[in-house]
Amino acid sequence: MVEIWNWARTYSCRPRLYFEPKSVESLQEILKIINENQWKFRIIGCGHSPSSLALSDEVLISMKYFDQIIEINLEDKFVHCQSGVLIKSLNEILPSKNLSLPVQGSVSSLTIGGVISTGTHGSGIQFATLSSYVRSICLMKLNGNIVQYDRNDRDNEDLFRCLTCSLGTFGILLSISIDLTDLFYLELTQHQLKFDDFLNHLSVHISSSDHFRYMWFPHTQSGIAYHLQRRSPTIPLRKENLFQRIYSSIRHRIIGYHLLEIFFYISLYFPRFVRWINRFYLNFQGQNHHQISRCDHLFNFDCLFRQYANEWAIPIEETVSCLVKLEEFIERNYFVHFPIEIRFGRSETSSFLSPSFQRETCWINTVAYRPFGFEHRQHRKYFEEFERICFEHSGRPHWAKEHSLTYSELSRLYPQWNLFHQYRRKFDPTNLLINSCLEKIFLQHE
């Protein structure tokens, strides 16, 4: 029996049956067997999600071989690709066509189907989640029928808004068409910024660049501001010489990764050491820095080693109040790993279950490292309080990360929750696509 782990090795499953189909016909045969036995199943991509959302102990289907780019339309600027295509693959192919995804998250080792299904986002008050840029979806329903859904189809407008962020609960995504934009570079300006200054001038920071991100270092009263401005791809990029590459390797891999992992391992036994670690790495990483590079090279960054993760989306007007309360708790009660990543996104209406649905959003992501894969529960009290504070500020959890909310709580946070639920039950009346993670979200009220 195969054992499947997520990237952080915080969740695993031992499915009774595990499939890696290579054709539509194979998928249809698998669905026939599943329906005959009424087995529950899930679809998995890269398994990067720090939750059990994509796992199943009954049947698990990997889309790793559905990795073909079907069309890159240069005139209308969209790409049509199978759902198992990796974001990093698009990042290598699209620039050769002078095109790019409109926005990206921090990680590119994800499938296009996964990022669409969970509302993956980047940062920038003018930009929404990747789900909002979907033009069409080709879905295999549970009976094996294949149906194409388009955002311009007025007869299925509400259904399309369910499919674009569905948590994988309507069927199997075969392919997706998503909007593109002209290729662009990013100009990064990075500097240390006091936490109070960040809060006091929040609107200025959010609006002064295309993509603003703040990395807060708890216990230091400070953090690092990243301002990213879109630039023409005609600007020549500076290449590092041999000495610079060696220096960069020592700095980022030896000090910024391996030494950090040793430090956090020590802190498991001496928790107060975390405060020193945060101060040291704020100064180490927080030097003023300027760089111009291809957009995905600066959107993405190294998530380092295994970690627990918890991320929430709060209304942007609640940002200051929420973060002030969080800081009060952190300083009074806990030793929190850096960084707390704070990003921003525009309001959207194209996905009913997008955490940014009908409101401009502040995304707050916090982590607890697992040095050398060490399992611990030192973060639990902090994560629980973090969730409580965010929920008090009308926060919605990131679907791909762990959270404790149930149906009754989530139904109050999403205006079209009941409509989504009605459509989902039509597509999956016997809940074959509902695993233990999704039971609390969709079934606990029944």
For residues 261-269, average pLDDT: 96
* pLDDT at 55 (0 to 100): 93
Q: Is the peptide bond before 339 cis (omega within 30 degrees of 0)?
A: yes
Average pLDDT over residues 151-179: 96
| Domains of the chain and CATH, by start | 4-62 (3.30.43), 69-182 (3.30.465.10)
Structure tokens at 439: 């039971």
pLDDT tens digits, residue range 274-326?
A: 999 999 999 999 999 999 999 999 998 888 889 999 999 999 999 999 999 99
User: 76-81 — which CB contacts under 8 Å span 24+ positions?
Assistant: 77/179, 77/180, 77/181, 77/182, 78/135, 78/177, 78/178, 78/179, 78/180, 79/177, 79/178, 79/180, 80/136, 80/175, 80/176, 80/177, 81/112, 81/175, 81/176
Which pLDDT belongs to residue 10? 92
CB 330 within 8 A of CB 275: no
Cβ atoms of residues 14 and 1 within 8 Å = yes
At residue 246, the pLDDT reads: 76
pLDDT of residue 445: 56
Q: SS3 for 320?
A: helix
pLDDT of residue 355: 97
8 Å CB contact between 215 and 340: yes
Tokens 């593109």 label which residue?
180
pLDDT of residue 49: 87
Which of 16, 116, 107 is closest to 63 using CA atoms?
116
Angstrom distance (rounded) from CA 300 to CA 291: 14
Q: What is the pLDDT of residue 239?
A: 75
Q: Does pLDDT of 446 surpass 50?
A: no
For the ranges 21-30, 102-111, 208-217, which has the lowest average pLDDT? 102-111
Helix, strand and coil content of the chain, in percent to the nearest 5, comes to 35, 25, 40
The answer to whether residues 116 and 202 touch, using CB atoms and an 8 Å cutoff, is: no
- Mean pLDDT on 384-408: 95
Residues 120/400, Cβ–Cβ less than 8 Å: yes
What is the per-residue burial (b if ≥16 Cβ within 10 Å, else e) of 402-418? bbebebebbbebbebee
pTM: 0.94
What is the C-alpha separation between 389 and 408, in angstroms, rounded?
A: 18
Tell me, what amino acid is at 210? D
Helix (H, G, I), strand (E, B) or coil at 341: strand
Average pLDDT value for residue range 352-364: 97
- pLDDT (mean) for 375-390: 94
In single-letter form, the type of residue at position 111 comes to T
- Burial of 359 by CB count in 10 Å (0-12 exposed, 13-18 middle, 19+ buried)? buried
Instruction: Write the pLDDT tens digit of every residue in 64-103.
Output: 999 999 999 999 999 999 999 999 999 999 999 999 999 9
Average pLDDT over residues 23-42: 96
Mean pLDDT value across residues 409-413: 95
Going from the C-alpha of 10 to that of each of 50, 87, 106, 373, 379, the distances in angstroms are 7, 23, 19, 9, 13
Q: What is the average pLDDT score of the chain?
A: 94
E strands, 251-395, where? Answer: 289-294, 307-315, 340-345, 361-369
Which two tokens mark 328?
């009060």
Q: 278 with 223: CB under 8 angstroms?
A: no
Taking the C-alpha atoms of residue 71 and residue 435, their distance in angstroms, rounded to an integer, is 33
* pLDDT value of residue 247: 72
**What's the mean pLDDT in 7-12?**
91
pLDDT in tens, 187-219: 999 999 999 999 999 999 999 999 999 999 999
Whole-angstrom CA distances from 145 to 24, 154, 171 are 10, 21, 10
Residues 6+ apart with CB under 8 A from 317: 360
Q: What is the pLDDT of residue 444?
A: 66
